[in-house]
Structure 1
């Protein structure tokens, strides 16, 4: 951004004001400008200073970083990346309860900003997967089934965005070169968070904006469409190297009945496909006679005659009453469906969960299976109920969880003991 200049039109477009308004800012010396030839130019540094002086806490503004092609949110008290990454924290992890002798599989009680900075000493570049479900900036409290306030969501707007941005920079440094992050967020603020994610991870490393259906359709009386979904932003540390297992969605019974309606006495449910395909071959095996038949005009056998004979001998060619052969395709050989970017994983009611913001464990398992290996470390720094850690443990991954809620600590200790999840518990202690 150094030595780069904006025109009055550039500034007006960024601020969504008229050229006359920008000229007035310059005349009133609210915005520094220099005259180059016959036109005023504003340096990007001066423009950023202007934004910092005039942005409000509640309304972050968007500017375009032309050199990186990324967008950036500008708001008051936005910290410098260098300051976030290299400021020193003086603290350590003190054991609360040890249940195994492994280095990983740990829950750390404390402010996740300080915990993440401390983890950089030992885990920089070692985390393969981050899933986070941060507070959504709604200004609400979340209560347990007995109405105890267990999770407070009071930071809002740009204060929330900067709170999250600082932690995202630290998480980026903890991610391995093959790592990825899934950030679960409410749509009210999610599109601002997308710009923060582009700034931290780079727009090129954006993979998906996943829509998660969280509940049944609503019928509120307000003048708007029903809100029954939230979003998961998925980024890679390096999209060319990320761990990706392409776990497919299994076929359910309804889909099986639609796609494989017939039943074979030996092979089970099936459907049939033509054994010929478009295109004519010249002097090729797939254009020659098989079982007294030739391919239809302008087509060729999809398989060699040897393969067709083998399929027929194994009972995998179905002959119609008119003598038309078709290949039998078995439901048992179906590899499942490519997972799309709309997921239906509904939250359970409060009476069925251990923690008020607890997420569906099938959703967590899909993410963990797709984006980590059995040797991977999975990290969740807004740990809540510990569902992410529990899912990672069941799938033979290592985990690190962080939360500063005493209720979270109590719930995780209780449920992990109940479910035989091996975990050591620590507290971050500041030495300042």
Structure 2
């Protein structure tokens, strides 16, 4: 540490005056490890703290599609990707996240994080300038934390691609350089099409940063053969050799001959084919989306944002399949794990499936999860989602951080015990003190998971007397802290801990009561968007909760406005209230305030019990229409399912018969009231 005379005098003055020392002094008094360069900003956490302080959450299986293989099944996870990645990190260390060749970790990681949030574009110019700085630092640290975990999840011979646009790419490049120090770097430019107002240089590309480990493999993307300009100018010498010619690089008048094939018995067309097959492939770092332009540069097109009708899934910022095909083929082999931590529309996962890769995808949005689920169950064999149907290999949908308690109660005791220990970041290590059996350790202190499933404990309660009996047996030998984990309703006292002599016994209530003394940050929920512009907002959640079905009352009917050709069905939402419990300061939400969106499957198959997303209606649009969800009546088949999603990720699902909209009856049916709670 080296202070200037001015810094020393200022610090002495602050101490003598008893004034508060600002956090900026931390970097002066305790400077970080010296690097050639480093991006510095407020709120930048040390890498070690990011890994240590992130709460891993258990993955609760919701449903498996297909029959699982013995050694691997693909994974789709709903939850905050930071917490999910901590869990995947533990899986990697335990040898449960392996490629087909047995190598631990993902061989290829591709992420397409949200480029910017709506907050970047609100308010006056002065407000916008301030918000850009604030949101910029928050976004950079948001992404940096995830990149730290992605580095830990990457196989030793892996490659990571980070897809960015112009808004934050220069900052993100700096932090990726810090995290992936010894990796080989390439910057790929994806020419995705001109976008802009014409008042300034139009945006024509997005940037993909590629970092390959020293041992990483690289398969150069295939390119087209010689261009028409070259093949049209091919000449044949007196011995029958085909060649091209060009001026000397020095600018002289002499020409250089380049022979393309060494077989004089071939025709011109055969010589070109032979030369193309044996020609060394140059890996270009400019990837062109449009076909006609790509062919001019002897390359295959990788698609633009103008999707084909086969490929489009209706999700904002969806990327084309040819783009992901090039990335996956270039940096992985069959059987390798491909990981996408911002799965979005599911393009990475769909292409990985078609190319026989293993895959793991996670997203914090229910819209993304349902979009991916539908996409994976309606795959076509060819890139661009064309050709014959493709049945995907088995994959499992998981919840992480938002759990179905009714399913947890059905778990065998050992599974419940494991879940509870994981939930509170405990080390699984049984031990006895004073004849009392404990299940593990948390922060060096003993942990007991209360077995509420034992017959003798079936109706048992944990009272202050229960704690006293434990204390009498273990005394001071247990240390100064003990943690007891049990369902919330099992505890007969309200306080978060009870002291006996010098030992503090903490009550860790499942689902939501973890006291602030144990965690640095309060819990927040996975906020779901209420309009399309917010679909890709950055969301960071800490902690967990249990699924709490919102209260819902609605009525259905049909209507046809004047001058409209088609008749519409509608669902009028009269009551929608959420009962989510999250540890964050928030105003009690009133009726309809917690609605995020309504998703509809117009032809729900009650036998398969798979929700097949057809339409999504955001709360902002529903509110403008008087809290009505309107849709074409002709789209309804026998039974439709509507999923009403709140901003915390909880769902109210309802099945509505077509008769409620006058279908199949010959007459308009009377209005139907419904409720779900």
Task: Give the TM bin, normalised by the shorter chain.
Answer: 0.5 to 0.7
Distance 1:170 1:138 in 2: 23
Distance 1:274 1:211 in 2: 30
Determine which of 205, 210, 220 is the counterpart of 2:198: 220
Gaps of 5+ in 2: 15-22, 94-103, 121-133, 249-255, 290-303, 380-390, 403-422, 425-677
Determine which of 222, 244, 252 is the counterpart of 1:248: 222
Determine which of 302, 325, 334 is the counterpart of 1:365: 325
Q: CA deviation at 1:396?
A: 0.7
Determine which of 49, 74, 82 is the counterpart of 1:83: 49
Distance 1:391 1:116 in 2: 22
SS at match of 1:131: strand
Distance 1:51 1:213 in 2: 47
Distance 1:119 1:107 in 2: 12
Q: CA deviation at 1:243?
A: 1.6
The residue that corresponds to 1:147 in the other structure is none
Determine which of 184, 192, 211 is the counterpart of 1:235: 211
The residue that corresponds to 2:229 in the other structure is 258
* Contact 1:358 1:384 (8 Å CA) reproduced: yes
Superposition pairs of residues 10-409 of structure 1, within 5 angstroms: 27-29=9-11, 49-50=27-28, 66=34, 68-69=35-36, 71-87=37-53, 89-99=55-65, 100-102=67-69, 103-124=72-93, 125-139=104-118, 156-202=135-181, 204-216=182-194, 218-221=196-199, 224-236=200-212, 238=213, 240-251=214-225, 256-261=227-232, 272-273=242-243, 311-312=263-264, 314-315=265-266, 329-335=271-277, 337-345=281-289, 346-348=304-306, 352-409=312-369
TM-score of the superposed pair, with normalisation by structure 2: 0.43
SS at match of 1:156: helix
Q: CA deviation at 1:219?
A: 4.4
* Contact 1:378 1:400 (8 Å CA) reproduced: yes
Q: CA RMSD in A?
A: 4.1
SS at match of 2:377: helix
Q: CA deviation at 1:349?
A: 5.7
| Greater Cα shift, 93-102 or 172-181 | 93-102
Question: Given the superposition, is the C-alpha separation of residues 189 and 333 from structure 1 closer, same or farther in structure 2, using an over 3 Å criterion?
Answer: same
Question: Given the superposition, is the C-alpha separation of residues 404 and 350 from structure 1 closer, same or farther in structure 2, using an over 3 Å criterion?
Answer: farther
Question: Given the superposition, is the C-alpha separation of residues 263 and 225 from structure 1 closer, same or farther in structure 2, using an over 3 Å criterion?
Answer: closer
SS at match of 1:247: coil
SS at match of 2:353: helix
Question: Given the superposition, is the C-alpha separation of residues 89 and 259 from structure 1 closer, same or farther in structure 2, using an over 3 Å criterion?
Answer: same
After superposition, what is the alpha-carbon deviation per residue over 1:62-86, rounded to whole angstroms, capped at 9, x for unaligned?
x9975x43x2222222111111122
The residue that corresponds to 1:35 in the other structure is none
After superposition, what is the alpha-carbon deviation per residue over 1:88-137, rounded to whole angstroms, capped at 9, x for unaligned?
63521111110230323110110000000001111254210000000112
How many residue pairs end up in the alignment? 330
After superposition, what is the alpha-carbon deviation per residue over 1:4-60, rounded to whole angstroms, capped at 9, x for unaligned?
x58x7xxxxxxxxxxxxxx7655534999xxxxxxxxxxxx99762599xxxxxxxx
* Contact 2:161 2:209 (8 Å CA) reproduced: yes
Q: Which has the higher contact order (CA 8 A, sep 6+)?
A: 1
Task: Give the number of the structure whose residues are more often helix, by fraction.
Answer: 1
Determine which of 385, 393, 418 is the counterpart of 2:378: 418
* Contact 2:190 2:287 (8 Å CA) reproduced: yes
Q: CA deviation at 1:87?
A: 3.0
Q: CA deviation at 1:262?
A: 7.6
Question: Given the superposition, is the C-alpha separation of residues 350 and 373 from structure 1 closer, same or farther in structure 2, using an over 3 Å criterion?
Answer: closer
The residue that corresponds to 1:281 in the other structure is none
Distance 1:360 1:350 in 2: 9
TM-score of the superposed pair, with normalisation by structure 1: 0.66
SS at match of 2:219: coil
Q: CA deviation at 1:250?
A: 2.3
* Contact 2:234 2:242 (8 Å CA) reproduced: no
